[in-house]
Structure 1
């Protein structure tokens, strides 16, 4: 039986060569602090495409300066950032992969020191060190971070407009698909969660109110990008905390997202409040399986999916339509090529310049 992992998948007008996708992974490497990609990003994303991935999704890219997690995040709020991304897209395309980008606003978790290259990793930065005032649905801080300012309705409108403008720039840069970041405790997730959204207006209260901003962003972006371009969303399927945004609510939001034109949802978890998370191999795949069974929206699974046969199992058992392989690709940018060998796929995906290195494995296969 042909491998499902190595089979193509079509969303709207886009066909992706396989179901091994590289998820967004923050690099904190826009060293000019201007949101512009550097040679690091060109090498980083190009290596995954050369390594056989079907789709390569560029890391969380801020739609406004104050939406960055750190000062060294990527951005897409001006044309210089758009133009600098074009070579990344072209390189990914040259290697046969699809190029995606995740649009994001970090909300109350913005303005922190990057994980490396700073004396304040994960801590709020004061203005003297390049920090700024953060925004949130309510003036409720993430534990250990600075107090945010609650967005008023005009501020919410500006957020929606910023996502649309960034989406238009992404289309102009040549990206094939877009993803709206609604997970990991960033702004759209903060609105979805009753633990961070204490609003009493139409953007708070019940799930319909808390999901209003997410759906507004999706509607506005969907209306301004090509009809044949896939639009994806990422959600945290559970916060691993009593009283938080949970899998039941996620299921309803996924259904609404499908009705509003989202073509696939990637399900991760956590990030909005400190929690004890049962991390282990494939630990988030059950969340994907639940959403696949209870909604009509294609689902992608992510989270410590490190081995080709493990990834194949997720697809064969119907837990997801796509598998996202993150840290395993960081360890081995040719992960997908090794999956091709292990699962007896089409060796033509191996770049001709590298095939001499695979001759023994191909003979054994």
Structure 2
């Protein structure tokens, strides 16, 4: 199926955004304009958000139109936006609809993430137990999880704090060319290392993505509808896979598994097998760099480099322009921002623009395939392969 239209608003700091419904509606309208259709062509909608009451999707979508179509609210932690995209793609693939909207939005609060409902068992209990057995440090949960994964990579493969700093500095250079990014200031490796220390020897403050507000949307259509209405056909989803945890998440005794490395590997392998496209064919990727540490782990999980070769991949600058795979040309979560429900669709926005040749100063030349990786602890991982029409 085809990506007929995409829309995204600039990401902002908590307290500086419009309300979630306004952000979501604006992203929808931008996607409809990009597709060149009106809302009444849309047959189904999937609305992703993590922090909001039930039916927030209807609240946002109703600002654009009230046509009586099915609207499904989606919450899959940080992979929420890509889960909405996954469901929209399935609706078209099954023949249930020919034009489907996926929208993601988030109005976040400052500070570390945490449980909202403290009066019941946490869905992260098993993850917390696994982390407690492997990580002995008193930090907020996300910092412990992803810092712990980074530490595991350092101990197993010899990566260093400087490797994580290089990844963060690279993200800032990419984001400098993205007007929708929350942070556009260029950082050096030395500045990242000199930032306030969160975990000595493991993480500085600049290696973590900030809480962010924002929204993004995509319009997916069948080839038949695109031909009938004369819609855009430059970009299609060639393959997509969603995975969840297996017992080895908790049994491997490895924080990289706890944060989803195996989910990533299995989703990527399924996409490569379904499409006939391999990691060597990928020239541009948007991956889930909620922490610089997770980007390093994900290089290997996606097969962009061999197991234990991430440090060399970084040193050779194969993760940026002039290298083998430009990772996160948008600036990624580290610089673009991470409004949880919107992130997956913001990645879709960036890669669609890349394959259209419309990314401006961020353009990756010669890219025919683009890979998207969106990960949510708890857990779910969505990997999507986009392809430019010949």
TM-score (ref. length: structure 1): 0.30
| Higher relative contact order (Cα pairs below 8 Å, separated by 6+ residues) | 2
TM-score (ref. length: structure 2): 0.29
